[in-house]
């Protein structure tokens, strides 16, 4: 489905968006990727939504990426005798392994791995950081704390530990079962929560066995510190600003977002900016001006995708939320300042023949009257390299592999077209010309740039660039062989 923008939109599905009619309308309005949140919904519900997406994809003949987002380990306090307690600033409070219902003085924290990692001076954040504790003294079965930000603590509230790397795997037992289930369904991307180190990504990749691409969620300070290694081990990144804003001072999040987006662009790996982008649209048909500015900022930074969470999953206005993102994206990308920002942040990274080919393709396209860059790709790597260049002409990614077309739905500026397997470059040029015309990017009088690798259907072989007419009769005339 042809879009009039380059940034991609990820929409989370849920109770407000689970029917065929709604999912189809979301895609037609602008959603390129659908997120299945494994924290909510049974396997049967997830399977039903997956099947509907694939049916919409078939009916509209439009590749759609499906992203399954694993829950990750959930650290929570136990229960209180009174259900909840008020903790005042400066008060003492104890966390321990005793399952006895909690009081105003203590509560169970049934996670010995946390006590094993704690040190005096570390901080514990409860209920999304609304309540903050400082560890004064700790052992393997308890931590005596001082309340440094008071408030209500109640049953099963979540706990964040920002100051230490916890000896916890990113995959809980539930995550392992969910991973196997969604990989068997055939999702395209697997989002991994609670990533602290590259080894967490490698473990998920081994369990996945190549059935889906791995996208790491950066939501912990440890992940920010180890980002270079995590990025190298991952196929994509999500900047999960909600948890980052809990575990780090909120003023730290915007510069972190900007740095991570730039590093992902340099690595030619897709990056999603997520969390609270249009949160007011859960209840309102109109966003706040601050939210619109937030979405626009991510687009100006050159992110590959922007994401809706509860706005499309449980909100009252899922279609309006997607339409708002689409409208903001088109307005930003038509702003001359956008071109200036992207141009100034373009990074030269020329280490291979493929790097040189795609850089030349962009330069030729922008210096002459070229209508599109058409790249043939097996794994999606060539299209990702072209997208890293952030060209101002459309990118048409042609592939014979449905899975590759789906995964590229997350990559900036790519329009994916299915093509048959090829053996000769001339046929590739003809197919590219036909696709550019059929998809509405060019007509018979225009020219395109074509990149491909010979031999065909082999990853990492991009080694040819040609400027070609869109009139296939001219292609055969100039290349009769």
Annotate 430-468 with b (16+ C-beta within 10 A) or e (fewer): bbbbebbbeeebbeeebbbbbbbbeebeeeebbebbbeb
* 300 contacts: CB under 8 Å, gap ≥ 6: 332, 337, 338, 341
- Please, what is the angle between helix 289-300 and helix 318-333, to 10°? 50
Tokens 């105003």 correspond to 104
437 is catalytic: no
Q: Which residue among the candidates 35, 269, 388, 406 is catalytic per the annotation?
A: 35
Q: Which residue among the candidates 5, 6, 106, 275 is catalytic per the annotation?
A: 275
Map residue 318 onto helix, strand or coil: helix
Q: Side by side, which strands form the sheet with 131-139?
A: 106-108, 92-96, 142-149, 131-139, 123-126, 159-160
Q: Which residue among the candidates 74, 76, 263, 426 is catalytic per the annotation?
A: 76
Q: Centre a 10 Å sphere on the Cβ of residue 19 and count the other Cβ atoms it contains.
A: 12
Tokens 């997208």 correspond to 387
Map residue 444 onto helix, strand or coil: coil
395 touches 413 (CB < 8 A): yes
Reading the block at residue 288, the tokens are 């706040």
Sign of CA dihedral 423, 427, 432, 435: negative
Q: What residues pair up with 218 in beta bridges, in sequence order? A: 239
Give the span between the Cα atoms of 220 and 68, in whole angstroms.
20
Nearest to 178 by CA among 313, 54, 72: 72
Q: Which residue among the candidates 217, 362, 371, 390 is catalytic per the annotation?
A: 217
35 is catalytic: yes
Task: Give, rounded to a whole angstrom, the gap between the first and last alpha carbons of the chain.
Answer: 34
* 237 contacts: CB under 8 Å, gap ≥ 6: 215, 216, 217, 218, 230, 231, 260, 264, 269, 270, 271, 272
Q: How many CA atoms lie within 13 A of 433 on its CB side?
A: 21
Give the span between the Cα atoms of 8 and 189, in whole angstroms.
15
217 is catalytic: yes
Which residues are marked as active site?
35, 76, 217, 275
């Amino acid at each position: 489905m042809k879009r009039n923008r380059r940034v991609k939109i990820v929409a989370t599905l849920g109770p407000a968006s689970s029917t065929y009619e709604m999912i189809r309308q979301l895609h037609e309005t602008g959603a390129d990727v659908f997120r299945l949140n494994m924290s909510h919904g049974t396997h049967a519900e997830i399977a039903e939504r997956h099947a509907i997406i694939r049916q919409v994809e078939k009916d509209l003949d439009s590749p759609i990426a499906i992203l399954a987002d694993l829950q990750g380990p959930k650290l929570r306090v136990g229960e209180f005798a009174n259900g909840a307690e008020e903790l005042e600033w400066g008060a003492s409070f104890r966390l321990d392994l005793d399952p006895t219902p909690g009081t105003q003085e203590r509560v169970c924290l049934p996670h010995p791995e946390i006590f094993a990692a704690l040190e005096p001076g570390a901080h514990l954040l409860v209920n999304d950081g609304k309540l903050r504790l400082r560890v004064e003294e700790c052992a393997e079965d308890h931590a005596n704390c001082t309340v440094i930000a008071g408030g209500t603590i109640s049953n099963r509230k979540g706990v964040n530990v920002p100051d230490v790397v916890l000896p916890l795997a990113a995959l809980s037992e539930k995550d392992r079962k969910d991973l196997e289930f969604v990989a068997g369904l055939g999702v395209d991307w697997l989002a991994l929560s609670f990533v602290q180190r590259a080894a967490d990504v490698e473990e998920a990749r081994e369990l996945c066995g190549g059935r889906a691409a791995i996208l790491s969620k950066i939501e912990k300070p440890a992940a920010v510190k180890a980002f270079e290694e995590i990025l190298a081990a991952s196929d994509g990144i999500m900047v999960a600003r909600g948890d980052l804003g809990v575990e780090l001072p909120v003023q730290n999040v915007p510069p972190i977002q900007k740095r991570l987006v730039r590093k992902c662009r340099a690595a030619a790996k897709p990056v999603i900016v997520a969390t609270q982008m249009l949160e007011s649209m859960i209840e309102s048909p109109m966003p706040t001006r601050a939210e619109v500015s937030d979405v626009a900022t991510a687009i100006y930074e050159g992110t590959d995708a922007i994401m809706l969470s509860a706005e499309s999953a449980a909100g009252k206005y899922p279609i309006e939320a997607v339409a708002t993102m689409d409208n903001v994206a088109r307005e930003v990308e038509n702003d001359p300042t956008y071109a200036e920002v992207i141009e100034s942040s373009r990074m030269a990274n020329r280490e291979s023949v493929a790097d040189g080919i795609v850089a030349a393709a962009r330069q030729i396209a922008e210096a002459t009257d070229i209508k599109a860059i058409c790249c043939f790709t097996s794994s999606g790597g060539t299209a990702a390299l072209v997208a890293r260049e952030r060209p101002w002409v459309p990118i048409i990614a042609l592939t014979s592999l449905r899975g590759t077309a789906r995964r590229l739905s997350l990559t900036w500026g790519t329009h994916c077209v299915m093509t048959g397997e090829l053996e000769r470059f001339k046929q590739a040029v003809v197919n590219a010309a036909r696709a550019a015309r059929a998809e509405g990017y060019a007509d018979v009088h225009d020219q395109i740039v074509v990149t491909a690798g010979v031999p065909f259907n082999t990853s990492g072989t991009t080694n040819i660039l040609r400027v070609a007419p869109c009139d296939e009769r001219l292609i055969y005339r100039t290349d009769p062989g």
